[in-house]
Structure 1
Amino acid sequence: MLAVGLLLVAAALTLNGYVTGVTGETHAAPPATGRPSAELARARRGGPVLNLTAGAPSSARPAGRTVALTFDDGPDPTWTPRVLDVLRKHGAKATFFTVGSKVAQYPELARRIVAEGHELGNHTYTHADLASVPGWRLRLELSLTQKALAGATGLHTTLARPPYSSTPAAITVPQWDGMRSLAAEGYLVALTDLDTRDWARPGTDRIAASALPSQGRGAIVMMHDSGGDRRQTVEGLDRVLTELSGRGYRAVTVTGALGMPSAHRQADAMDRFAGTVLNTAQRTAGAFTGALSWVLFAAGALTLARLTFFAVLAWVHARRTRGGKRRKGRAPVWSAPPPVTVIVPAYNEAAGIQATVRSLVETDYQGEVEVLVVDDGSTDDTAALAAALGHAGVRVIRRPNGGKPAALNTGITQARHELIIMVDGDTVFEPPTIGRLVRQLADPSVGAVSGNTKVGNRRGMIGRWQHMEYVIGFNLDRRAFELLDCMATVPGAIGAFRRSALVALGGVSSDTLAEDTDLTMALCRFGWRVVYEERALAWTEAPTSLGQLWKQRYRWCYGTLQAMWKHRRAVLERGPFGRRCLGYLAMFQMVLPLLAPVVDLMAVYRTALGDPLPVVAVWAGFVVAQALTGWYALRLDGERASALWVLPLQQFVYRQLMYLVVIQSVATAVLGVRLRWHTIRREGTFGGAASVPQG
């Protein structure tokens, strides 16, 4: 699905890029290299219409007192109708050498040109310089233009004019070679006698003067109906036709001026169909690219606004917590440290279970701490290793494998105390952590407390990337979520809860793969406050390979989607949680990641189409903004700012991995596939530690 979607987007961008990669009328003519042949020398002295299809080149010019007005580079939605109005006013006919891409964009103008008796010529599809393109590109330009004409008018044309051409005397050797290639495709080449150079906007007087033949001669006159402001051309055309009428001239098409049959030929049904498809595809690609540019601009603005807004909220949160305040007034305190039950759900956690349990019993919390290790049918020595520590306050509960929610519910049932802390089997607490979590529960309105999860194994590049993500994307956000009353997740690695609240909810639900997000949302909907305690530190083991990271984040993302769907009715409920939390998750964890591949494609597209500096500047600007936010987040968490060096590299591997996870998760959810639990291999980061990491 992703490949097909990106292929369609790439095709649209490629077509639009090919069409819009037009140089313009002021393109410098190629240098006159090489010696002219005898044929070219004769052509330079001949008439403006060249027939190179026969053995020997021949040329022709209009009869006396006959003018063939020609207009290049259109049709244009602004100026072509004005030119046609002036021609109709004077009863004149003209030949329009059209650019195929503009015919595809404005087919109604091509039809009007034909309907009013004018003639069409081929001016290539993208205004390409035929003197400098390879043969395949020349043939493609001509063929696409013929298809665009067939789709718009049902006609082909036998007339062609190379872009950047002028009078026969100005033909260069490369241009001559291009004209021979035109002739090989069956075209009659129409140059000009009088080049008004109106593209330079020299003034109405000069345009009119340069378009008038002298001494009753016939002439082909070159003007333009597109490519910029053509007001002077329209005014000059009206003056020229008035003057020509007074001198007894007639204004006709190129073939009419030569006494030839019309250049129009009926296109067959296949060409008309192909042309219709081409024209529709081009307009669709143009509209899609334009809309996508605005969408990506909005996405960039939202991303920058989010970074700024969350940094400000984090600053407010830091000021409040530094003063020991939550909302208004000073935070409540316990009269005496209450007893606490710590639940450790464990499945095949032999690599780190002893370090986890040891960190819990070595706490400096003054109240009673009960530790329940719930072995969920492990196939290794998890239960035996936990029991082997021999701590009196630790109970090991064995149960058949039923999943993490079932293990947690077993612990909740067996817990003897009202305050419950949940911790994963690969996570270790610092000694003050339990006390800091419990301190927030002194406020009776608080139903859950999120701790501050730290990546313990951050030596490799993957670990460093996750360290930055935890600090910026998780812990900084939770400061803002607390102030906005829309906490999305109390992480399974470290969270404190009221047992009565959990029991009232029916325990931990197994409806989703993100049981921590599901539980947090349920608590918020039930009216409990969920707060963040940044000083309650827990060190967790992050995945060490891209494959393991993919499995973990796939489960997280899919489970979050499940939780959002399960709690979708919260949007309609009273209170800010539903609209703020679900709206934020939908925008920043679903919609924007789904657009991320297109952002990368657009970056390549803009770089290939033009100057790469704007793309690099935008990318650098986002990295700088992210780095500033990251620096502040690291500062708030007491981390070293030297970790910021991995942020630019994060844009080329880690970012793509994260948005591909979101895409796969959304596709899995849309297709209705039931994802099973993905187990992550444990490396035992803290398994050999004699004591808990400090700071």
Structure 2
Amino acid sequence: MAWTALSVWLSSPWLNDLAELTNWPFAIIAIGFIAYVPGFMNAFMISSLSFDRRPERRPLLQYPGITILVAAYNEAAAINDTLTSLARQDYQGPMQVLVLNDGSTDETVAIAQRTLESLALPANFDFRVIDYPVNAGKAAVLNRGLQLAEHDLVATIDGDSWVRTDGVTQIVERLYADPANTVAVAGAVMVRNSRENFLTRAQEWDYFHGIAAVKRMQSMYHGTLVAQGAFSLYRKDALMEVGGWPECVGEDIVLSWALLEKGHRIGYAEDALAFTNVPTRIKQFSLQRKRWSRGLIEAFKAHPSLLFKRRLTTLFIWWNLFFLPLDLVYTFIFIPGLVLALFGFFWIAGPLTLAVLPLAALWNMFIFRIQRKMFRREGLKVRQNFGGFLFYSLAYSLLMQPVCVWGYVAESIGMAKKWDTK
């Protein structure tokens, strides 16, 4: 709040000049969503994360049974690695892995079966391939797998993810270390193919800094808003209580909000690591982020009462509501303002815009320090990726936020929905 008040005071000349040029409502909305709201969010994250003292994760005397659902659609290029990583888990309890082929048109099933024949599985592991010949969508195939789950804990892992050897163990330990009303835990998803091009290099920072920091902060307020399908853990009875995964493009966020609406808690296991392949081309990236934006709108439409639920995590439901005007203002006001600045017109973007850089730099240094400490505890090293960081910090939003607006519009006008965005 102090940072926001300082921002308002420093920007008063800018606000007055823009109001004279346009009008006061436009000036307040433009500068509010260009500077004040993002500044408040960054300052809030820094101050919150500085107080992060989550319960210590400890080994269990006995590890419960867990069913892992691997939804796969045309994952021939990656399914071998995913199953190999699961076969190498150090999990000490019973572990059932169901590969749910959702009508793939490539060699996903054949490769998965050959992989299982070649793996030396521990006695407590049970791997099976379930072949559904007709594509039904991710939510439908996960619900089919849920009906086959033999254990009280259910995890989801994407068919193109590599899970670290201790990933399953640590996400289960986090569930049991967290408060008793925790029914789901989001794992930490990082980028596996970050060295392919500038786009994947930038996404490495997005996952390592942005997404990880937000999930970590939200879990402190007892409500991580998305237990993502790429790697998350659930209590089976909680999944059954809300009817499993809903039929929509953002099935993971809508499911997560359904759990929150029931009063449950969703945690975050910052050191239960899975590495996933991110989009390598602009079109792939745009389709993925468009789908994420549509999922956010679906969540608001399905669970609007969360905006008025009396619990700490309600703050972040409102936070997400601000993403819509933030992305709209950035796309239709700030980006044109950058173009105007190139021609010497500093009405929208100008010298005062640079005032947000110190806070952005502080935020990046702060979360980098937190994440690097976690990596070191896990025996990992943060690879040098300065070029990707420059692209992430300077140009990433120019690509991502217009795509988010596209997703909001697509959901609002009812465009056709599709799971496969590869």
Aligned partner (choices 369, 375, 391) of residue 649 of structure 1 = 391
State the partner residue of 2:420. Answer: 679
State the partner residue of 2:75. Answer: 349
State the partner residue of 2:411. Answer: 669
State the partner residue of 1:585. Answer: 320
Aligned partner (choices 400, 404, 407) of residue 658 of structure 1 = 400
- The alpha-carbon distance between structure 1 residues 377 and 678, as it changes in their structure 2 partners (threshold 3 A), is closer
Aligned partner (choices 191, 196, 212) of residue 475 of structure 1 = 212
1:412, 1:452 → 2: CA distance?
Answer: 22
Higher RCO by CA contacts (8 Å cutoff, separation 6 or greater): 2
State the partner residue of 1:268. Answer: none
1:667, 1:610 → 2: CA distance?
Answer: 29
2:316, 2:145 → 1: CA distance?
Answer: 29
- The alpha-carbon distance between structure 1 residues 622 and 649, as it changes in their structure 2 partners (threshold 3 A), is farther
> Normalising by structure 2, what TM-score?
0.84
2:223, 2:286 → 1: CA distance?
Answer: 27
| Cα shift readout 1:121-143 (whole Å, capped 9, x = no counterpart) | xxxxxxxxxxxxxxxxxxxxxxx
Question: Do the aligned residues in 2 keep the contact of 1:456 with 1:542 (CA within 8 Å)?
Answer: yes
The residue identity in structure 1 corresponding to 2:141 is A
Aligned partner (choices 163, 166, 178) of residue 432 of structure 1 = 166
2:142, 2:215 → 1: CA distance?
Answer: 23
State the partner residue of 1:595. Answer: 329
> Secondary structure at the residue paired with 1:320?
coil
| Cα shift readout 1:388-440 (whole Å, capped 9, x = no counterpart) | 12256211111121100111111111111111111000001101011111112
State the partner residue of 2:236. Answer: 499
1:507, 1:383 → 2: CA distance?
Answer: 25
1:441, 1:627 → 2: CA distance?
Answer: 28
Number of residue pairs matched? 386
1:401 equivalenced with 2:161 (yes/no): no
1:660, 1:616 → 2: CA distance?
Answer: 20
State the partner residue of 1:305. Answer: 40
1:358 equivalenced with 2:80 (yes/no): no
Identity %: 27
Aligned partner (choices 283, 301, 323) of residue 547 of structure 1 = 283
1:488 equivalenced with 2:222 (yes/no): no
Deviation of 1:293 (Å): 3.4
The residue identity in structure 2 corresponding to 1:582 is I
1:624 equivalenced with 2:347 (yes/no): no
1:465 equivalenced with 2:202 (yes/no): yes
> Secondary structure at the residue paired with 1:370?
strand
| Cα shift readout 1:344-375 (whole Å, capped 9, x = no counterpart) | 01111111111101111110111111110011
> Secondary structure at the residue paired with 1:441?
helix
Aligned partner (choices 261, 269, 278) of residue 525 of structure 1 = 261
Deviation of 1:634 (Å): 3.8
Q: Where do 1:147-546 residues align within 5 Å?
A: 286=20, 288-299=22-33, 300-317=35-52, 319-321=53-55, 324=56, 334-388=60-114, 389-390=116-117, 391=119, 393-399=126-132, 400-442=134-176, 444-459=180-195, 460-510=197-247, 512-546=248-282
Deviation of 1:614 (Å): 1.3
Any gaps of 5 or more consecutive residues in structure 1? 1-19, 21-283, 326-330, 682-695
Any gaps of 5 or more consecutive residues in structure 2? 1-16, 376-380
Question: Do the aligned residues in 2 keep the contact of 1:304 with 1:625 (CA within 8 Å)?
Answer: no
Question: Do the aligned residues in 2 keep the contact of 1:623 with 1:647 (CA within 8 Å)?
Answer: no
Question: Do the aligned residues in 2 keep the contact of 1:456 with 1:539 (CA within 8 Å)?
Answer: yes
Question: Do the aligned residues in 2 keep the contact of 1:471 with 1:637 (CA within 8 Å)?
Answer: no
The residue identity in structure 1 corresponding to 2:281 is S
- The alpha-carbon distance between structure 1 residues 362 and 518, as it changes in their structure 2 partners (threshold 3 A), is same
- The alpha-carbon distance between structure 1 residues 580 and 547, as it changes in their structure 2 partners (threshold 3 A), is same
> Secondary structure at the residue paired with 2:388?
helix
- The alpha-carbon distance between structure 1 residues 546 and 678, as it changes in their structure 2 partners (threshold 3 A), is farther
- The alpha-carbon distance between structure 1 residues 610 and 571, as it changes in their structure 2 partners (threshold 3 A), is closer
2:30, 2:19 → 1: CA distance?
Answer: 16
1:615, 1:594 → 2: CA distance?
Answer: 21
> Secondary structure at the residue paired with 1:470?
helix
Question: Do the aligned residues in 1 keep the contact of 2:137 with 2:419 (CA within 8 Å)?
Answer: no
> Secondary structure at the residue paired with 2:96?
strand
> Secondary structure at the residue paired with 2:193?
coil
- The alpha-carbon distance between structure 1 residues 379 and 570, as it changes in their structure 2 partners (threshold 3 A), is same
1:678, 1:285 → 2: CA distance?
Answer: 45
1:610, 1:528 → 2: CA distance?
Answer: 48
- The alpha-carbon distance between structure 1 residues 544 and 518, as it changes in their structure 2 partners (threshold 3 A), is same
Deviation of 1:340 (Å): 1.1
The residue identity in structure 2 corresponding to 1:516 is D
State the partner residue of 2:6. Answer: none
> Secondary structure at the residue paired with 2:210?
helix
| Cα shift readout 1:271-329 (whole Å, capped 9, x = no counterpart) | xxxxxxxxxxxxx9846354433334333122122112212322322x335xx17xxxx
